[in-house]
Amino acid sequence: MAEATGSARLGKSVAALVAASDDPATIAALLPGCEKLHRIDAEHIEGRLATEVSGIPIQAAVSIRRTVESLPDGVTRLHLRLKIRPDIGGQAIVAALVDLRESGDAAAEASWRSSSELDPFLAVFAGQRVEAFLKESIERLIAGLAAA
């Protein structure tokens, strides 16, 4: 299991970031190789992606679970869970807790911590490359919400 943390000032309000995180088209545009996602229910969206991980072509089913929580002191927490199931077998999951706080000027401060988990098949097949891809994907997703 790999863990990562990060923070950034995002150029949108918390409300705009939360709204962007709930839009399947926005999320699809932020995931490498993902063309389209569709909503399953209020918390889940899914679809397919075709991308490369360290030069290796990967086709996979992808699902995202997203929930929002209001915390004390004006913090809004996004729970994001990205699950990738490659056609070759196995699965990889990255989960992130993203704390958003208004910082003025229609911007928000974001801090996050994420962890990734690979099943044994993927860990043996391409462990470090897949974990790097997951870390990059979740960070791109968080930062990209401000550009949406």
pLDDT recorded at residue 125: 61
pLDDT digits (tens, 9 = 90+) for 39-57: 999 999 999 999 877 777 8
pLDDT digits (tens, 9 = 90+) for 45-102: 999 999 877 777 888 899 999 999 999 899 999 999 999 888 888 888 889 999 999 9
Q: What is the 3 state secondary structure string of 37-106?
A: EEECCCCEEEEEEEEEECCEEEEEEEEEEEEEEEEHHHEEEEEEEEEEEECCCCCEEEEEEEEEEEEECC
Listed in sequence order, the residues at least 6 apart from 20 whose beta carbon sits closer than 8 Å to its beta carbon are 12, 26, 145, 146, 148
Confidence of residue 136 (pLDDT cuts 50, 70, 90): confident
